[in-house]
Each structure stands twice: as structure tokens, then as C-alpha cells.
Amino acid sequence: MNWKAPVVLLIGLFLLGGVVTAAPVEKPEAVPLATVKALALRELHKFPEFNGAIPTNPTPLYFPDGRLAAYEFRMVKNGKTIGYIIVSANRNLPPAILEAGFGEKTPSDLMKELAARKGVKNYRLTYFGGLSYGLLAGDKVVDMKGGEYKKPSRYTLSLEVDAIRNQKEWKSLWTEKAHTSVEVRYPTLLASAVEYKVILTVPAWSWQDSDEGGADNGLPPTPHPIEVTELGYDYVGPDPDPWEKDDGCAPISGAMIVGYYELQYRDSWYREAVIDILHITMDTQGKETSYQNIALGMKRFYEKAVELYNSGIISRKPRYDYDSFTLYPSNNLQLYTYIKSEINMNRPTILTSTHGVSEDGNFEWPSQGLGNYHTVAVTGYKAFDDGSKYIYVHTTENSPYAAWIQLESITNPVLTIVRPIYKG
């Protein structure tokens, strides 16, 4: 299938053939199909490749916990499928076309193949991260490689952190009347988005959620922790660390990217374990990490995690190695271009800079002014026809967990590119 990169907000929860629930579960956050159809028609102008095509066959798509997330529409022109769109159907997510693809195959077609291979008859389509899909069948979720996982009680995407804001946006677009009719309003915007993509399934973690510091046992020898063979990693996981409670923004940012690719590391225990491992491999001192060591630490992660797995410190083996390198953009437009290229390939990246201000002005780093570097995970971008540009970051803070950052506010940027290498 040919994937269209620009103007995509990645969510990818697709439902396939087999026996499925005909109507989505009715929950307060679910958006009626009539509203979703109206939203699809309203937003189609952003995709000129679909001129003359008709959105058909709405298919409900679900989060791994069973909540309605979106609908897939097959785009048909002259009787032939030319692509698809996925439209938000959850008030906790932004009201938008979340994803678009071009070609004869839609994600539903791919999911039918998965269901046939696994012999699954009763299921809903779900999604884990990037372009990794799965099936929700009873109390288990099956990923594209055939792995089976227990159905989570709650699965939260990063953009749900802005649920209140998203719900207000939905209210500004539509008003339900009685049970059937829907009135869709079209607000006048000062500027229109010309490109927009966010990878929604990168976990949003913060140092405030982290384990305690101040353990008595010392750190393994430095400056080459990857070569340490002796045990002494009792702090790996939720136990108190030998350093401060704040594990450091660089290890936390790297851990969010590892968590994006490594589904087995997304629970709270392994969140802490991955952060601790990266604290070692990035040679983080206290909470300070040299930006030159971020890429090196990402490249060392797989080897160190395998070592700890073989030593019995962790019980889940990593599935990905990571190739990582550092870029030094000469200006912010080049920074945006680098970020856009990686996000379009569904690869979140890591930004280190001395300054950044959110779109609404309510979040800024560093709070005391210029001078100190701060590191964040970058998961999206957007640009408007007035020339303004923004990047979407996971802040490593809990207020907010994520924010749109004004591109022009970023100073002294250093970008760490992370490329996954599947090891099985």
C-alpha cells in the first residue's frame, strides 16, 4: 500500500472482516456516526488527491481497551477504491481526519489477512503504535506479528492528555439535537492548517511519575557502564534509585520512544526499568545528560537490556536495537524539516534545546530563562497558511504532559534521531 505522509494525524485503529459488533458501545466520549460523517466531509478539502472520491463503508475502530476511537472510510472514485481516511469518533481526541492513505488496499484489508492467519472469528480492530495494528478478541489483543496480550483495562493515547480541550473543540463544531439530527457549524479560523501529523501512541511519561531517589547502593562504575558485567542493579525498576527522584529529561524522553516501539515495556514497572537503563547508558549524572550522550545511550540500550535480561534483572527481553545519531540544525526551518521527515516515517525523535514556549504560552523551558538545556520527545508537527509552525512534544513534566511548541521560540536545537532495528 502507498502511504500518504503529509497531513496525517496517526491513530490507525482499523476494524476488519469476521464477526464484529455492529454498533459501537455507547459511552459518553463516543461521537455519533452522523457527526463523524459530517466532519469527514468538512475536512476532505485538505486532501486534494481525493477530489471526486466518495467516503463509503464507515468501519468502527477501537482502542485496545474497547472504547470507540474512530471510523475508517473507504474512498471510492469511479467505482474503485483509491485510498482511505480515518476520522476521529472520540471526544477525547481532536475532531479531525486522523490518518489518510492512498492505494487500493485499506487497513481493513490488511486486518482481514491477519484474522485469517490467526483463525480469529470474533474481533474488533485495534492499534498499538506507529503502523502496528492488531485485533481485539475477547480479553486479548493480537498484534500484527501474532503476539497475544491481555486486554488492558485502560489504554490512553498521548493526545487524550488534552481531553478537556478536545471536548471543547467538538462542542464548537457540532450540537446534537434530539437523537438523530446533527447541526454542524463551521467556525471561521484566522489561519488554516496546511499540514498536521501527530503520532498519538507514544507514551507520555514524566519525572513526577517516577520512582524515588536516594538509595544507599552506589552506581556501577563509569564512564563506560555498558561494559559492567557485575550485578548490582537492584534499583532497576520501581525501587529507589541511587540518584535523585528526577531521573533526568533525556532518559525519560528516550524511554518514551522505547515504550513506543516496545509494547512489553509500557506498564509502570518497566517504565521505570527502561528509564533506569537509559540513565546508565546515557551516562546521566544526577539528572544532567550531555546531549552528545543521548544518541550513544539509545544505541547502547539493547545491549544493556539484553545483559540485564540474561542476568535475571528484567524478565522481558527487548525486541528492538536502535541506531541513533545527532543532528545540529543550522536554523529552525531546517529543524522543522528534519522533524517532519522523521514523523512522516512514524519515528518520534528527541529534541534538546535551551528554550521553548508552548502555543498557548502557558508552558516554557527553562522556567528561569535561557541557559539550561531541556530534552523532550517530539511526536508531531503542524503548520498554518500564515507561516506559523509548531512541533508537538512530550515535556517529561506532568503539567502539561504534552504541548505544542512554537517553532520560532526554540533556541540552540540539537536533534537526536532514533531508528528502530527489529531483532525479534
**What DSSP string describes 101-154?**
EESS--HHHHHHHHHHHHT--B-EEEEEETTEEEEEETTEEEETTS-EEEPPS-
Q: Please identify every stretch of the chain with a pLDDT value under 50, giving residue numbers as ranges.
A: 1-26, 129, 175-190, 211, 213-231, 368-371
Contacts of 312 (CB under 8 A, 6+ apart): none
Q: pTM for this structure?
A: 0.56
- Which of 17, 32, 131 lies closest to 87 in space, CA to CA? 32
Residue 299 and residue 322 in contact, taking contact as beta carbons nearer than 8 Å: yes
- Which of 244, 343, 254, 330 lies closest to 291 in space, CA to CA? 254
Residue 325 and residue 335 in contact, taking contact as beta carbons nearer than 8 Å: no
Cβ atoms < 10 Å from Cβ of 128: 22
Question: How far apart are the C-alpha atoms of 177 and 32, rounded to whole Å?
Answer: 12
How far is the CA of 58 from the CAs of 32, 54, 78, 84, 238, in angstroms?
12, 11, 18, 10, 43
- Architecture in CATH of 207-422: Alpha-Beta Complex (3.90)
Question: How far apart are the C-alpha atoms of 292 and 223, rounded to whole Å?
Answer: 14
Is 62 in a helix, a strand, or coil? strand
How do residues 58-84 score in pLDDT, each as one tens digit?
888 888 888 888 888 999 888 889 988
pLDDT of res. 142? 83
Question: How far apart are the C-alpha atoms of 305 and 295, rounded to whole Å?
Answer: 16
Residue 85 and residue 55 in contact, taking contact as beta carbons nearer than 8 Å: yes
pLDDT of res. 358? 87
Cβ atoms < 10 Å from Cβ of 17: 16
pLDDT of res. 294? 97
The ranges assigned to domains in the chain are 2-198, 207-422
Burial class of residue 109 (count of CB atoms within 10 Å of its CB; 0-12, 13-18, 19+): middle
pLDDT of res. 217? 40
Q: What is the DSSP letter of 159?
A: G
Radius of gyration of the chain (CA): 22
